[in-house]
Amino acid sequence: MLGEFTEEQIRRYSRHIILQEVGGKGQKKLLSSRVLCIGAGGLGSPIIQYLAAAGVGTIGIVDDDIVELSNLQRQVIHAGSLNVPKVESAKRYVESLNPDVKVVPYPERINPDNILDIIRDYDIIVDGSDNFATRYLVNDACVIAKKPLSHGSIFRFEGQVTTILPGEGPCYRCLFEHAPPAGMIPSCQEAGVIGVLPGIIGVIQATEVIKYLLGLGETLSGRLIFYDALSMSFDEIKVRRNPSCPVCGESPAIASIEAGNYLDNERVCSIG
């Protein structure tokens, strides 16, 4: 198996290869895997950084934003890229970190018209978006297309993570059936976020993705991890599938993207 790697790859991935649970076979699996990251902001930055370092062979990145100075407090992959599209900045970062990784940039906002086409060719989707409309859209599309999904969110000093495996465990709507009313959640500018928080939550998401791709351990399917940075505590909430869930329940009302109601909600700080 090691003969299939170059000498440089053996050195680069040596700490993976010597893990009995990963080995050469697992590293080869990572190099052939395809992961889509929706958002290249606070959560997207550590997710992209660690998936690229791990040798995930193809990383798709969806984001229509440009790098602003206020982003650099937490969006660590964009240093030196002010006023550059985030997908371009992220692509540059990945290419400088690991030449084995191919980046597929999507400099657009995910929406009901493009989401099924974009997610089709990926093994797992990671949601690092920054508004509720996108979060529900991504969840529904992944359930409909039977694509595994890593969800993470952050707010001020708190974060949460879960993994959604359609057909096996609960989806995001089983947790939160509807988005909160517009204006209820403060914006980033109003509420703020401690800069290290998305790093913690994003790395947990990246860990879930790698475990899923390698078939290792137990994912967070059916469990929601809640993190409080001020008390430095983790709490786990068990979650069950809701038989009445409008997208993954016994009689789903949302059987297609066209059936969903995805308002273009104001961007909020609960993700990015």
- Catalytic site includes residue 188: yes
DSSP string, 150-211: EEEEEEBTEEEEEEE-TTTS--HHHH-SSPPPTTSSPPHHHH-B-TTHHHHHHHHHHHHHHH
Backbone angles phi, psi at 114, to 5 degrees: -115, -15
**For residues 103 and 137, what is the distance between their CA atoms, to the nearest angstrom?**
23
Distance, CA of 9 to CA of 31 (rounded, Å): 11
- Our CA angle for 48, 53, 54, nearest 5°, is 100
Rg of the chain, C-alpha, whole Å: 18
Candidate list 37, 171, 174, 188, residue with the active-site label: 188
Tokens of 59: 């990383």
The Cα–Cα gap between 142 and 169 comes to 13
Residues with a catalytic annotation lie at 188
